[in-house]
Amino acid sequence: MTLTDDELVAKSVGGDAESFNQLILRWERPIYALAYRVIGREEDARDVCQETFLRAFRALPGFKGQAKFSSWLYRIALNLCRDWIRRQRRAPVMQMPEGVDPGELAAERGPVESIEELVSRRELSAVVEEAMALLPEEQRTAIILKEYHGMTFQEIADMQGCPLSTVKTRLYQGLTVLRRHLEKNGQMTPQLVKRK
Amino acid sequence: MTQTFTCGDHGALVSYLYDECDPNERRAISAHVAVCGGCAEEIASLGATRELLGTWSPPDAQLGFRVVSDTPRSVSDTPRSVSNVLRPSRWWQRPMPAWAQAAAAAAIFATGVTLGALRGATATAGAPASNAQGSNVTLSAMPTAAVTPGDLSALEQRLRTELSQMRNTNGPATASAGDAQIFERVRTMIQDSEQRQQRELALRTAEIVRDFDAQRQGDLTRIERAMGQMDGTTGVEVAQQRQMLNYLMRVSQRGQ
């Protein structure tokens, strides 16, 4: 029998670590995905994910079920992502090692075909990722919560601490910027638009 | 109640796009979109954008965090040390590497040798005492476990012989007092011996437990350190691969 989040939380508060491990198993992928999409770095997203569950475990006695457990987890993760972004503003996000020519490096990595395969497989995803990185943090987070985590406008508003109308505006503006970027990169084909 | 839609109401368009509006609002927007080319195009292109967003998936990551707790404790206990450390899941269920198997075998062997040495020490510590001090003090010097029923019978026999000799010498009145004294002495000696034995047993048990625990802690530390090194190595490799991927993608994009 599958226990609900609330039941697992109650058992965890009672000292059953295995129940909390089941909650981790259930939610670590969504939390990791959220962290990765917000901050864009795999290792850091993993750290955020781990820290989210650590904080949740420590704060579990104070969790009174006023919100869904998942919403509570998302909120912790988003706060950690915000902290991370704040820290990163003081340091460059991507650093190119000095004295290394990417072309030479690519040539050393094997035949051209495999590189093309690799790039074509990831191209679309990379363009979307690149476009998302252009958005301000609030718009990006709103779109991520809506598109990839299926939250309602109201849940996003609660999560972001803003009015519901602001969430809609963020979504609209964010989608508009994304559309322009994708059009510029040739990803928005007329067929794709007509299908809608 | 009928609802109207104002052309250019982006909030309403977003509600319509995500299907999060009430039926009346939806009807009103649908009616408007059917006749307004601008809004219809807006909805279509935003929908297409959403479709492309669906292609973005995060890379696979090694997760499997777990709360590791060696003793069952309440979550409300504070402060926590290692019990709330999240670690990659079920690492202890994975096939054990050769070095870990060797370490475990060495730990078991060392424990066995330690126990054997302790037992040997016990035997050799008892034997010389009895040999060196002669038959009169054997009972007090040796642990109770070394006293056999035969020894006790011999002692009793000797005591009876001595008592009968004393009776013959001193008469019945003094013999009765002497019996009581001797029995009292024997009882005291046996009690002392038992107490010593219990103390010794407790001491040795504590030593064994301490040795075993120290060995276990040492093994765990070595295993943790080795796993940490492996994690570090893997992390560096992943970072290098990711960096390489970034280079390749940049190069590819330049070519386009």
Whether residue B119 lies within 8 A of chain A, CB to CB, comes out as no
Q: Which of B29, B46, B52 to mutate: most A Cβ within 10 Å?
A: B52
- Which residue in the set B58, B235, B238 is minimally distant from A32, CB to CB? B58
ipTM over 0.90: no
CB contact under 8 A, B52 and A187: yes
| Listed residue (B128, B19, B65) closest to A49, CA to CA | B65
pLDDT of residue B208: 87
Distance between CA B200 and CA B195 in Å, rounded? Answer: 9
What DSSP letter does each residue of B69-135 carry, written as one string? Answer: -SS---TT--S-SSTTEEEETTGGGSPPPHHHHHHHHHHHHHHHHHHHHHHHHHHHHHHHHHHHH-G
Task: Compute the distance between CA of residue B32 and CA of residue A77 in angstroms, rounded to an integer.
Answer: 40
Torsion angle, alpha carbons of B240, B246, B247, B250, to 10 = 180
Q: Does B61 touch chain A (CB under 8 A)?
A: yes
Q: How many CB pairs under 8 A join A and B?
A: 165
Q: Measure CB to CB from residue A128 to each of B14, B47, B53 and give the nearest one.
A: B53
- Mean pLDDT, 10 residues at a time, over chain A (196 residues)? 89 90 94 94 92 92 86 94 84 42 48 55 81 93 95 94 95 95 80 60
pLDDT-based confidence at B80, cuts 50/70/90?
very low
Q: How confident is the model at residue B5 (pLDDT cuts 50, 70, 90)?
A: confident
* A106 with B248: Cβ contact below 8 A: yes
Identify all chain A residues contacting B14, using CB atoms and an 8 Å cutoff. 168, 171-172, 175
pLDDT at B79: 42
Among candidates A15, A37, A118 on the partner chain, residue whose Cβ is nearest the Cβ of B58: A37
